[in-house]
Every structure is written in C-alpha cells, then in structure tokens.
Amino acid sequence: MFKLPTTVKTAALSLTMLTAISSNNALAWGQNGHRVIGEIAEMHLTEVTQYALEPILNGESLAQISTWPDEMRSSSEHFWRKESSKWHYINIKDAKKMHHYVNTSIDSKDKVAHILDGIYFSINILKNSKSSLEEQQFALKFLVHLVGDSHQPFHAGRSEDRGGNLIKVSFFGKETNLHSTWDTHLVENENLSFTEFADFIKTSNKKTIKAYLNSQPADWLVESNKISHRVYDENETKLSYGYVYKYMPVVKKRLSQGGIRLAGLLNQIFDKNAKPLTEALIKKRG
C-alpha cells in the first residue's frame, strides 16, 4: 500500500496550495512530455495563428518553449523561488467544485493562486493588444507549459502527499515516487524522442478532436483528479510491465489531449475565424 512519512498530516482542506513545495517536486511530464504536447499543438494551428505567434516565439517552437517555466525555477529571482510553484497545480478535495475556482478575468500575476489562475492570466495577457512583447512571451511560455501540467493527473492530486511526491514506489526496481513515475518514467520508458512520440500518437480524427476540444481548463483538471484518485485507490507500489501496459494508454491520451487543446486555445486567441471549441484545423504542410 501507499505509505506517507509519519510527519505528514493526512487531513486535507477543501483547497490547499502547497506554497512550500520545492521546485523539483512540481515538475510535470518532464521535458519530453511537455515537448510532445507542444509538437502536437503545432500540428493543429491555423495559418493565422502561426503568423501571429511568429514574433512572440522569436524563432523557437512551442515544443522548445514548453519547458521554460520549469527551467526558470533555478533563477534567484523572488518570483521563481517563492511564487511560481503555485502556478503549476491545484489540490482540491472535491473535484465537483473545481469550476468554482475559475476566474477568467484575472489580470495580474500577483493574484495567481493556482494553475487555473495561471492559465487565464496567460490567456488574458495574450488577448490584450496593449501587452508588451516581453509580457506576451512570458504568457505564451506559461500557457504552453500549464496546459501540459493540467493534463498530468498528479497536478490535481491530493495535498497531503504533494501530488504523489511523498509516495514511494519502485519502477522496474528503481526507487522513485508516484509523481515522478507519471512525470517522467512512463514517458521515457517508450524510448522515443518527443518528435517520434508526437508522430506516433497524433490524430486527425475529427470526432476525437471535437470531443477533446469540447471542454474548458477546469474540465481538464477534473479529468486529471479522477485519474489520480483511480491510481491512488489501486495502491500499487512495485511498478513494472503490468503498470506500463495499464497506464501508457492513459499517458498517451493525456498528451494528445493536451496538444490538441493547447492548439484550440491558441487558435481562439489569435484567429477570429477559428472554431477552437468545435474543431482544430490541421496545419497545412509545405
């Protein structure tokens, strides 16, 4: 069974933000997973959106910028050391109340209390024609990253075990924790580059894409919460081939959903003719 250190209190509040969590404990999908999501998103951008993103990306791709918010947490600046961690997750006891924490009008990064705030703050900066290029770049990098985070189940997990970080497990005999297993080990176990992984799981099925896009950020976190509690309930600690067989389809689906939904958001922001919550348009290849 999953065991927590005896010093950890198991009583959970309805909404608990773990402001003391270390930078190494809140990463999601690892570098490869985030890049897969960025790569898939680029497959579904409209030409108008691609053009609008060019000056903001400044020669980089969505895959390249997808890991920036995690990389910056080594910075000595106060924001990265003390404030940025809470952007990456939300811990809520009753997932049915997730939509109560949506604030679509949030306009200051100082007001961001959790991942939903971070997503909507980033969207609002990108929609605001008065935002500077530097502000847009900050917002785009965070949006790409946070959409990815929202699809990692343990970024909507339990507060008392820090989203699985305090749950010790073994993965093919190597000691790790549950959060890291989902962040990195399951993805890396496929032995694929992010471009290969994205190519393997990409879809052009219109019904699938429409189903993925018929949702909002709070829905994605509810999905993640349900997956995390399914994993919690199964209490597996010695993880190997059976675990990979059971959960890799879940990982692949979450990465695919994250990429398509990120494209939907970007199309909604930058292309007034796009129908991002109905269909994502496949990018034309030259």
Half-sphere exposure of 53 (CA within 13 A, CB side): 27
Q: CA angle, corner 59, sides to 55 and 61, nearest 5?
A: 100
What is the crossing angle of helices 241-270 and 194-201, to 10°?
A: 80
User: How are strands ordered across the β-sheet holding 168-171?
Assistant: 174-177, 168-171, 238-239
Which of helix, strand or coil describes residue 169?
strand
Q: What is the DSSP string of 152-210?
A: SGGGGS-TTTTTTTT-EEEETTEEEEHHHIIIIIHHHTT---HHHHHHHH----HHHHH
Q: Distance (Å, rounded) from C-alpha 18 to C-alpha 114? A: 10
Structural domains in the chain (count): 1
By residue range, what is the domain housing residue 154? Answer: 27-270
Chain-centroid distance of CA 261 in Å reads 11
Closest C-alpha to 256, from 204, 218, 182: 204
Phi, psi dihedral angles at 22 (to 5 degrees)? -80, 160
Q: What is the C-alpha to C-alpha distance for residues 198 and 255, in angstroms, rounded to an integer?
A: 9
Rounded Cα distance, 168 and 160, in Å = 14
Kindly give the confidence (pLDDT) of every residue in the chain, 286 residues in length, as a single tens digit, with 9 standing for 90 and above. Answer: 555 544 444 333 344 443 333 333 445 678 999 999 999 999 999 999 999 999 999 999 999 999 999 999 899 999 999 999 999 999 988 889 999 999 999 999 999 999 999 999 999 999 999 999 999 999 999 999 999 999 999 999 999 999 999 999 999 999 999 999 999 999 999 999 999 999 999 999 989 998 999 899 999 999 999 999 999 999 999 999 999 999 999 999 999 999 999 999 999 999 988 875 554 544 433 3
Q: Is residue 70 part of a domain?
A: yes
Distances (CA, A) of 187 to 92, 190, 227, 280: 26, 6, 16, 25
Residues 138-151 have pLDDT tens digits of 999 999 999 999 99
Query: Residue 238: enclosing H or E segment and its boundaries?
Result: strand 238-239
pLDDT of residue 46: 92
Quote the CA–CA distance of 46 and 36 in Å, as a whole number.
19
pLDDT given at position 260: 96
Q: Answer yes or no: is 12 within a domain.
A: no
160 belongs to a structural domain: yes
- Domain with residue 60: its CATH number is 1.10.575.10
Here the tokens at position 172 are: 């093919």
Question: How high is the pLDDT of residue 274?
Answer: 83
pLDDT for 276: 56
5 occurs within a structural domain: no
Instruction: Tell me, yes or no, whether 18 lies in a domain.
Output: no
Which residue type occupies 81? R
DSSP letter, residue 184: I
Q: Are 41 and 206 in contact (CB under 8 A)?
A: no
121, 112 in Cβ contact below 8 A?
yes
Q: Is 281 among the domain residues? A: no
Answer yes or no: is 105 within a domain. yes
Enclosing H/E stretch for 143: helix 133-150
Residue 203: which of 256, 248, 254 has the closest Cα? 256
Question: Does residue 62 belong to any structural domain of this protein?
Answer: yes
Tell me the three state secondary structure of residue 91: coil
